[in-house]
Amino acid sequence: MRAPGLALPAVAILLGGAGVVSGANGSALTIEAPAPGHYVSGVVTLRARVEPEGLPVLRLTFAADGHPVCSREAPPWECAWDAGEDVSSHNIRAVAVLVDGSRLVDSVRTEAAGFAPSVEVDVVQVAATVTEGDGRLVKGLRQEDFRVFEDDRPQEVTHFIGPDAERELVVAVDMSGSMGEAMATCREAVKRFLATLRPIDRVTLLAFNDSVFTVARREAAAEARLRAVDRLRAWGSTSFYDAVLRGLGLLERNRGRRALVLFSDGEDMVSHATADDVRGRIEVSATPVYVVAQGKGMRESRLRQVLDRVAGVSGGRAFYTDRIEQLDGVFSEIGEDLASQYLLAYAPEEARRDGAWRTIRVEVAGKKRAVRARQGYRAVARGR
C-alpha cells in the first residue's frame, strides 16, 4: 500500500517500547529494533542491547517467524533482515548465550498495516502559517478568517485547530562523520529547540548516519530527550532520504498538528530511498517539513532543489546556514513558526482518487498578509 511510483524502502514506524527479559545479577537482553507495534517492510535492521555493557556473551542469534536470520559473536548486536514487500505481522526473537551457558531471551511482534500512507481525500488537512508584510507571525486568527481553494475552486473549511493545540513532532539530527567538529554546537542548538516545546507536545527524536535510529520515543520525558541528545556522536555516512521517510511514517498516523524537522550537513550517500521516493511521499503527505542544511547541501544547486521541493510542497521551510553558530537562531525561528501554525481541514468537492495533482491555495483576511501552506496533494486511490 503506497503512493504510485514510490518504492518502499526500509521503513519502521515506532509505536511502542521493546520488552526486557532479565537474567541473574541484573543482566538483560532488549530488542531495540523493531519495537512492538512497528510496521516493517523491505530491508530493516534488527538490533538488540545486552546489559550490563561488557557482559560476556558467547553468541547472540536473531530469528524472524521461527527462521534464523543471523548470529553475532561481538557487538554491535545487529543485522539486516528483509521483511518482504508487504507490511505483515512478524515475530522477532533474540537469544543471547552467555559464556557460563545461561541464556537471555527477548521477542517482539510487529503489526500488519491496515492503512495506506496516501492522503485520504475525504478530508484534506492543510497546515498554514500567516505573516504580516513585515514578516511578523500572525496569531489569534479564527476559522472564518481563512479561505481555502482547491484547483481554484472554493472549499468549505470543516475543521479548524489553532496554535494552542498539542503538536506531534519528529526531530531528526544528522550524526554522520562529517558532523564531527560541529556536533557539540549542534547538540546544544537542538536541546534549546526541544526546551521551547510544551509539555503537551509529543516529540520523537531520531538520529541518522548509515541508518536511522530512534534515540527518544514520543513517550519519553523532556529530560530523557535532552540526555539522548547529549549522547549523540558523529560517525558513518548520511542517510537523509531514509530519515525523511521514517519521520513521515511516524507522523502520518496522527491527524492533528504535526511537523518534521530535519538537520543535515551533507549529501545523501547511503539511503535505500531516493530523491524521487521522497518527492512522491511528500506529494501524498499532509506533514510540513522543515529542513536545516549546511555544507554541501547548502552549496550545490541540485541538492538545494531537492530540499526546497521537500520543504516547499509540504508547507514547511528550508534554511541554509554557512556557520554552525547560526543554528541556534534557525532552530529558534522554526520553533516560533510551529507555535504559530494553524490546521485547516476540508472535504474536497472533487473526491475522485484518480492520481491527479490537486493544487491548494489558502487566503486569509488582511491585504498585506501572506500565507505559507501545503501547495497541493496527489489524490491517490485507496490501497495504493
Q: Each residue of 226-285: pLDDT tens digit? A: 999 999 999 999 999 999 999 999 988 766 789 999 988 777 888 888 888 888 889 888
pLDDT band at 38 (very low <50, low <70, confident <90, very high): low
Is the pLDDT at 128 greater than 60? The verdict is: yes
User: Spelled out in words, what is the top-level CATH class assigned to the domain 11-109?
Assistant: mainly beta
| Average pLDDT of span 317-338 | 86
pLDDT band at 382 (very low <50, low <70, confident <90, very high): low
CA distances to 15, 127, 170, 345 from 178, rounded to whole Å, are: 31, 33, 22, 41
Q: Report the candidate in 240, 250, 350 with the shortest Cα–Cα distance to residue 296.
A: 240
Query: 39-96: per-residue pLDDT in tens?
Result: 676 677 899 999 988 899 999 999 998 888 999 999 999 988 888 766 678 899 999 9
Top-ranked range on mean pLDDT: pick from 217-221, 272-276, 286-290, 349-353: 286-290
**Mean pLDDT, all residues of the chain:** 83
Q: Annotate 170-213 with DSSP letters as a single string.
A: EEEEE-SGGGTTTHHHHHHHHHHHHHTS-TT-EEEEEEESSSEE
Query: 158-191: per-residue pLDDT in tens?
Result: 889 888 888 899 999 999 998 888 888 888 889 9
Which positions ≥6 away from 304 have C-beta within 8 Å?
Answer: 293, 297, 298, 318, 320
pLDDT band at 380 (very low <50, low <70, confident <90, very high): confident
| Average pLDDT of span 308-313 | 87
| Amino acid 137: pLDDT | 93
Distance, first Cα to last Cα, the chain: 5
pTM for the whole thing?
Answer: 0.67
| Amino acid 157: pLDDT | 93
- By percentage, how much of the chain surpasses pLDDT 70? 86
How many residues comprise the chain? 384
| Average pLDDT of span 137-153 | 94
| Average pLDDT of span 324-337 | 86
CATH homologous superfamily of domain 167-339?
Answer: von Willebrand factor, type A domain (3.40.50.410)
Least trusted range by pLDDT, from 12-21, 248-257, 313-322: 12-21
**Helix/strand/coil for 45:** strand
Q: Report the candidate in 102, 98, 52 with the shortest Cα–Cα distance to residue 73.
A: 98
Is the pLDDT at 141 greater than 80? The verdict is: yes
Is the pLDDT at 16 greater than 70? The verdict is: no
Can you give the residue ranges of every domain in the chain? 11-109, 124-163+342-378, 167-339
| Amino acid 20: pLDDT | 40
Measured CA to CA, the distance from residue 33 to residue 184 in angstroms comes to 27
* Contact assessment for residue 172 and residue 247, using Cβ atoms and an 8 Å cutoff: yes
Is the pLDDT at 195 greater than 80? The verdict is: yes
C-alpha cell at 42: 523491505
**Helix/strand/coil for 109:** strand
| Amino acid 317: pLDDT | 93
| Average pLDDT of span 35-42 | 70
**Helix/strand/coil for 229:** helix
